[in-house]
Amino acid sequence: MDSFEELMDGMYGWKVKDGEVDPPHYQFPQSVLERIHYFNFAPLWEDGMTFMGAMQFIIGGSEAKRDYLKYGIGAWLPESDGFKKWYESWGKSARQQLIALALMYGYDTDSLTADQNDLSKWAIKAALEDYGYEDLSEVAKQDHDDLTWRASMIQRIKNNI
């Protein structure tokens, strides 16, 4: 687990590089990085997700899951054991700040798979799996308001791929 120094450097390790401000860089565990990346999805921001909403989804919990399933695109990404272990460890407020800094200033995506880096495809796949469908045409045929809304959102994403 992280040392106190690693957490502090991840929050307060600001530098100036070639006359430009260089924000701190923190090496997130893979499970944490995947969760940040999954919920840092452009269509969610475009449709009114707030910064605190993104933080709530990333941190998780039953209220966050309920809200995401009501307003989100695709399936809820459950908190993995690796994420829980990292987040529930000592220094929870420091870990929240590290997540906030990652949302504001970016994070390293080199360790993510190609599908995870293409969030549009990842969200479509997750949404389809959530409802047990094989392709978008099956989802679009449903009359249920929630499914129709999700299908239209997924189609909008697909059009932008």
Domain count, the chain: 1
What is the pLDDT, as a whole number, of residue 144? 47
Q: How many CA atoms lie within 13 Å of 67's alpha carbon, on the beta-carbon side?
A: 17
Q: What is the pLDDT of residues 69-108, one digit of tens each?
A: 887 666 788 899 999 999 998 889 999 999 999 999 888 8
pLDDT over threshold 50, residue 3: yes
CA-CA distance, 161 to 94, in Å (whole number)?
Answer: 36
Full-model pTM:
0.70
Residue 22 near residue 100 (C-beta atoms within 8 A): no
Residue 54 near residue 40 (C-beta atoms within 8 A): yes
What is the pLDDT, as a whole number, of residue 21? 87
Which of 136, 123, 115 lies closest to 43 in space, CA to CA? 123
Q: What is the pLDDT of residues 26-44, one digit of tens each?
A: 989 989 998 998 888 767 7
Domain range for 94 is: 4-159
**Mean residue pLDDT across the chain:** 78
